Amino acid sequence: MRHLYYTLQTLLRGHGGTAEKIISLTLGLVMGVLLFAQIAYELSFDRFYPNPDTLVMLRMRNVTKGVPEPGYNYSTYRPAAADLSEAFPDLVESASLTSNLFWEPAFYKEDKKLEDIQILFADTAYFATTGLTLLKGDPKDLALHSNAFISESMARQLYGDESPIGKVLSVEKLFDVTIRGIYADVPRNSIMPHDLLLSMAALDWAYGRGTWNMNNLYGVLFRLKQPADVDAMNSRIQQAVEQYTDPHLGDDVVTEYSVLPIHKVYRSYPDSTRRLVILGVLGFSIFFVSILNYVLRAVAAMSRRAKLVGVHKCSGADGWHILSMFLWETGLLVTASILCGGVLLWLLREQVEELLGSRLTDLFTWQTLYVPLGTVLLLFLVAGVVPGRIYARIPVTQVFRRYTDGKRSWKRGLLTVQFIGVSFIGGLLLTTVWQYHDLMTRSVGFHAEGLAVGTVTGDIRRAQGVADAIRREPYVEAVAGSGTSLLAHYSTNRLTDNQGNFICPLHFTLMDKEMPQVTGLQLLEGHWPQHRGEAVVGRKTVETLKWGDTAIGRKLPIDPSWAGLEEPAIVTGVVENVRNMGFFASQTCTAFILNDRVRTFNVRLKAPLDENLKRLNAFVKSTYPDLALEFTTYQDIRREQNASVSTFRNTVWVTTACIILIVLMGLIGYVSDETQRRSKEIAVRKVNGAEASDILRLLSLDILKIAVLAVAAGMAAAWYVSGQWMQQFADSRLLSPAWYALLALLLLVLIVAVVVLKAWRIANENPVLSIKSE
């Protein structure tokens, strides 16, 4: 206990920068734990299912001349569940159909729209296949499109202690569903999170019953009898599929099928793996820099604390006792940092959850408790043992004279690593800030600013009357119709070459005559459609089909019935490409067909946009209370499409701010120690004629010798990692190296400025005072 008493006295007197150490450890610990916990959370995706190794998901990809596509498509065809179960009776126990990608309907409870509710379409075999717990109800009730099942927490949120069984919800104000069952909550770390289960029959009602090679909207799940059956099924699945459909898309292209355990699906996405690696690098960087900053501050204080160690050794303390004192000190500081970090997370929990896109209650569970515990243990061991062993080796004779061993190699090495860390994360920040700005400002092929969009449900014959009513509002400039939002997944049809080989899907949607002018589509060639069945196509479509300058007058290669036509659509013009799928996917082939069967309104609003958008939604709600029509702006849609980039950018922002603060505190401590340790040398130089500027130049050059190479190494690492991050964006490129060089220069200027400000007093001090103190 005597060691604890001495340690407390040292900390309370502020020896070694107690406050700075707590701040540094708190920031590093909080950010490190959060990032490591997020990684563990995402690595455990879909691990909650019973026996997850035997629950597999069907996937497919096209192979062209033996070269497979880089990624898999997990949205497959409806008949696959029943047909492949029949083909593998020795391997498959049950199979289920799901869907959660194509239709996300709005729900209304007593005419009030429900927010933040996630849905999944499923069939009657869903609970038997997944093994999820059904608390109340009969799975067979999911056979009817008017039935729904609700999660336990959502039922409590909507109905409190009242039973939800028999309660009614409205789906898009099109039809009602009755809640027939309650199931245990599904964790959020899933590729299929849901609060409400709708019948697969409801999806069939809206989009028709899918067949092989048409409407790949379905996630097909199989429950296998044992884990080894995964390889057995994959070895025979291609032949099994060929019994029911031809997977060949021409002579050179074939669709390849396989299954993968569901807990591996999330990690199979290239973007997910890349993101987890970068999060790990970020977490390790700030955590490691925080530890090294603690060690640096401890080593920097050695010249001031050496005599105290000598006194303890004169009193009988050996190396172990000195080490234990520093372990006590580190333990107390780490405990204080944990408490400060806990308070910080509690005060900023909403901002932290928004930053990470995950709830803290999901990140910190009994299953993931090893992450914060392991992080704290590593912090304690490294931060306590390294400086403790250094202090334990101080000879007892230091009680009689001033300690002059500055451990410069230690301090320089620690400072170098910190400079590398701050420049690396700063480079990543530069990339993410620029990339998000580029995604939000790059042209999407039409004039999205000031344009709102909304889709009317129900009887399509009412659409024209609704459009006319909106058009008469004083804050509306113009209204035009389209089949879907221009920034959405359109209807698709396969494009093939002359040999019948599949090239890519053609994304097509309908429009009225006013749509091109109201939305600001850019006509490159030809003229706008004037008659039903005429169309304009995107530049990418012309290039893909190799039409050259002969596109005008061509027949659009789609089934005309899918566009509500009797004859193939005729191309009258070519427009600039529209990025309907955003910038994560490559540019799609697009077409816009003139037809009056439109139900999506594109409304050009007058300024101020936000105020008039509220007025528009209020007008629609009051005038058409029976319609589930709500408008949003295309800019908001773009923000939602790029939300993952925004979240990652904000994560890097916060990490950068924390690591800069940590490194600056370490640099200040280093400079303080150097000026104190070299005060006699500085005084002698001044006596011999050196000016204050000479002293400041000496100290600045001393730092720059390690800072230049360290910052260059950090920027090089940031450049490489940024290149990996940018691979998830189609048609994107890295910033010019000049920007990274400029950022490196700014960091070096900041480092020199801190050195000058901290050393200003000693450089201008009367040298007699320093010599007198020797």
- The whole domain housing 546 covers 457-628
Residue 384 placed within a domain: no
Identify whether 577 is part of a domain: yes
645 and 551 housed in the same domain = no
- Cα–Cα distance, 368 to 359 (Å, whole number): 13
Number of H helices, E strands in the chain: 25, 23
Query: For residue 510, how far is the Cα from the chain centroid?
Result: 33
For the ranges 2-11, 351-360, 693-702, 736-745, the maximum mean pLDDT occurs at 736-745
pLDDT for the residue 275:
85
Summarize the confidence of residues 499-523 as an average pLDDT. 91
Both 477 and 619 in a single domain?
Answer: yes
Structure-token pair, residue 224: 């296998």
Residues 605 and 724 grouped into a single domain: no
Together in a domain, 436 and 483: no
Q: Is the pLDDT of residue 772 over 60?
A: no
Tell me: pLDDT of 19 over 90: no
Q: What is the pLDDT of residue 147?
A: 95
Last residue of a domain, one of 204, 226, 244: 244
Sequence-distant (6+) residues with CB within 8 A of 621 are none
**Residue 399: pLDDT over 50:** no
The reported pLDDT for the residue numbered 304 is 63
Pairwise pLDDT comparison (401 vs 678), residue with the higher score: 678
Q: What letter represents residue 325's amino acid?
A: M
Q: pLDDT of 720-769, one tens digit each?
A: 888 888 887 777 778 888 999 999 999 999 999 988 888 887 777 766 56
Q: Is residue 283 part of a domain?
A: no
Contact between 283 and 39 under an 8 Å Cβ cutoff? The reply is: yes
Give the integer Cα–Cα distance in Å for 155 and 539.
49
- Flag the least confident range among 147-161, 330-344, 470-484, 601-615: 330-344
Q: Is 452 in contact with 616 (CB distance < 8 Å)?
A: yes
More confident residue, 301 or 235: 235
**First and final C-alpha spacing in the chain:** 36
Residue 468 lies in a domain: yes
Residues 547 and 486 in one domain: yes
534 and 662 fall within a common domain: no
Average pLDDT in the 242-254 region?
88
The token pair that represents 3 in the structure block: 């060691």
Shared-domain flag, residues 463 and 588: yes
Whether residue 152 lies inside any domain: the answer is yes
Give the Cα separation of 659 and 671 in Å (integer). Answer: 18
pLDDT, tens digit (0-9, with 9 covering 90-100), for 665-700? 888 877 877 777 777 777 777 777 777 777 888 888
- As beta bridge partners, residue 760 has none
How many angstroms separate the CA atoms of 714 and 356, rounded?
A: 25
Tokens of 615: 């007025």
Asked which of 193, 209, 244 is the last residue of a domain, the reply is: 244
Confidence of residue 71 (pLDDT cuts 50, 70, 90): confident
What does pLDDT average to over the chain? 86
Residue 150: inside a domain: yes
Q: Is the same domain home to 465 and 613?
A: yes
Q: Do both 624 and 673 map to the same domain?
A: no
Per the CB < 8 A criterion, the answer to whether 493 and 558 are in contact is yes
Is residue 233 one of the residues assigned to a domain?
Answer: yes
Do 573 and 681 share a domain, yes or no? no
pLDDT at 307: 60
Q: Under 8 Å CB-to-CB from 303, ≥6 apart: which residues? A: 402, 403, 404, 406, 673, 676, 677
Question: Do 90 and 236 sit in the same domain of this protein?
Answer: yes
In a domain, 255, yes or no: no
Of 330, 414, 295, the closest CA to residue 11 belongs to 330
Q: What is the mean pLDDT of residues 594-614?
A: 93
pLDDT > 70 fraction of the chain, expressed in percent and rounded: 90
One-letter-per-residue 3-state SS of 538-595: EHHHHHHHCCCCCCCCCECCCCHHHHCCCCCCEEEEEECCCCCCCCCCCCCEEEEEEC
Tell me the two tokens of residue 81. Answer: 């569940």
Predicted confidence (pLDDT) per residue in 312-349, tens digit? 666 656 666 667 777 777 888 888 889 998 899 898 88
Find out whether the peptide bond into 474 is cis, omega within 30 degrees of 0. no
CA-to-CA separations, 445 to 578, 594, 716, in angstroms, rounded: 4, 18, 35
User: Could you give the CA distance from residue 260 to residue 229 in angstroms, rounded to a whole number?
Assistant: 11
**Do both 559 and 677 map to the same domain?**
no
The pLDDT of residue 230 is 95
pLDDT, tens digit, for every residue of 43-52? 999 999 999 9
Indicate the pTM of the whole model: 0.83
Q: How many domains does the chain have?
A: 3
Where does 447-526 have alpha helices with state H? 463-471, 515-519
Tell me which of 33-37, 524-528, 688-692, 698-702 is least confident: 688-692
- Measure Cα distances from 465 to 113, 358, 456, 574 in Å: 24, 43, 11, 31
3-state SS track over 137-174: CCHHHHHCCCEEEEEHHHHHHHHCCCCCCCCEEEECCC
Q: Where a domain ends, among 244, 266, 284? A: 244
